[in-house]
């Protein structure tokens, strides 16, 4: 009797494992979905408008401002009729212009800028109705959230520390801690910022394989320099003229105390005076888009549903 019970339990375990494998394979065979999105992106930062979505674009001076837009592609893996994992890649051009802001202090300040951003997001979607099931058509709202990365233009600054010169252009050794020159040079560069995309959408499936969808996506970032209002520490470089070096080395005497501390203090003061707005408030890059997608691959089984 004991042997029969053990045999029964072994068979039950084997059947359970086979069932688990079958379900796993069937989930791997879920329907795939590819699509494209188009729309408009905008910035919420320290310069320009402050409404989170549907910012009215400025279409004058296109040569300077450009046209704000979003263009992207996506891939969805529909694990069941309600749940989806999605990969987004996209390109945004954003404009931020104080002259059209609601706040008087921003309009009087009249700063402006643009940025071009490449982004990639890994997102989980939840549909309120089984829009990914086998049916000719269905309409469902959905919510989503995930993690992403943004590659944006940024401003870098190089602080050049140099000796004062005599009439012949020869370097003069500093006679006190302040007796040298520091000048700044701006350089364009790139920055990589982490974002937390989330939002809501509405998906309409039609003709079995096709779907139209529209969504609001919000992307709070961990950067405050997408609008160039702040220059991050990693975008700051100090260089020192080496016409006069420390004896026995190739190091400029300006890299030694007390000159180095003075150079760093000058750079810090310059960066603080240049800062705009609240440095503790990070930038958001938000998008309003419409999309079209096509489903293909093995029809969903959704075993165990």
Question: Which pLDDT does position 41 carry in this prediction?
Answer: 96
Give residue 254's region: left, alpha or beta (phi > 0; psi -120 to 50).
alpha
pLDDT score recorded for residue 18? 42
The 10 Å Cβ neighbour count of residue 193 is: 23
What gap in Å lies between CA 164 and CA 253, rounded to an integer?
13
In total, the chain counts a number of residues equal to 305
Task: Report cis status (omega within 30 of 0) of the bond before 258.
Answer: yes
Kindly tell me the sign of the dihedral angle through the C-alpha atoms of 305, 300, 196, 99.
negative
How confident is the model at residue 19, as a pLDDT?
45
Chain position carrying tokens 């694990």? 79
Question: What is the structure's pLDDT at 132?
Answer: 84
pLDDT number for residue 300: 46
pLDDT the model gives residue 277: 84
Instruction: Tokens for 169, please give them.
Output: 């252009």
Instruction: Tell me the C-alpha distance between 48 and 65, whole Å.
Output: 12
Buried-exposed string 156-179: b where 16+ CB fall within 10 A, e elsewhere? bbebebbbeeeeeeebeebeeeee
pLDDT for 301 equals: 52
Give 10-residue mean pLDDT values along the chain (305 residues): 48 48 40 94 93 88 91 94 94 94 92 95 96 85 97 95 90 86 92 96 92 96 93 91 90 92 93 87 95 79 50
């Amino acid at each position: 009797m004991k042997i029969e019970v053990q045999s029964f339990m072994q068979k039950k375990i084997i059947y359970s494992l086979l069932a688990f494998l079958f379900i796993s394979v069937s989930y791997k065979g879920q329907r795939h979905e590819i699509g494209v999105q188009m729309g408009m992106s905008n910035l919420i930062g320290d310069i320009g408008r402050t409404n989170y979505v549907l910012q009215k674009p400025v279409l004058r001076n296109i040569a300077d401002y450009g046209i704000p837009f979003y263009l992207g592609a996506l891939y969805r893996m529909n694990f069941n009729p309600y749940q989806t994992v999605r990969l987004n890649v996209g390109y945004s051009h954003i404009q931020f212009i104080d002259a059209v802001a609601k706040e008087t202090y921003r309009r009087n300040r009249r700063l402006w800028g643009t940025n071009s951003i490449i982004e990639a997001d890994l997102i989980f979607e939840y549909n309120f109705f089984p829009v990914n099931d086998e049916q000719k058509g269905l309409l469902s709202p959905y919510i989503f959230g995930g993690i992403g990365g943004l590659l944006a233009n940024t401003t870098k600054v190089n602080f050049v520390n140099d000796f004062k010169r005599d009439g012949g252009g020869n370097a003069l050794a500093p006679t006190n801690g302040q007796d040298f020159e520091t000048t700044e040079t701006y350089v364009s560069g790139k920055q990589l910022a982490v974002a937390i995309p989330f939002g809501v959408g509405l998906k309409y499936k039609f003709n079995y394989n096709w779907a139209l969808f529209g969504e609001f996506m919000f992307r709070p970032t961990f950067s405050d320099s997408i609008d160039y209002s702040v220059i991050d520490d990693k975008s700051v470089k100090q260089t020192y003229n080496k016409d006069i070096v420390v004896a026995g080395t190739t190091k400029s005497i300006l890299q030694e105390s007390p000159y180095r501390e003075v150079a760093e203090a000058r750079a810090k003061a310059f960066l603080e005076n240049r800062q705009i707005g609240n440095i503790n408030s990070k930038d958001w890059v938000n998008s309003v888009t419409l999309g079209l997608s096509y489903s293909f691959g093995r029809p969903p089984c959704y075993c165990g549903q």
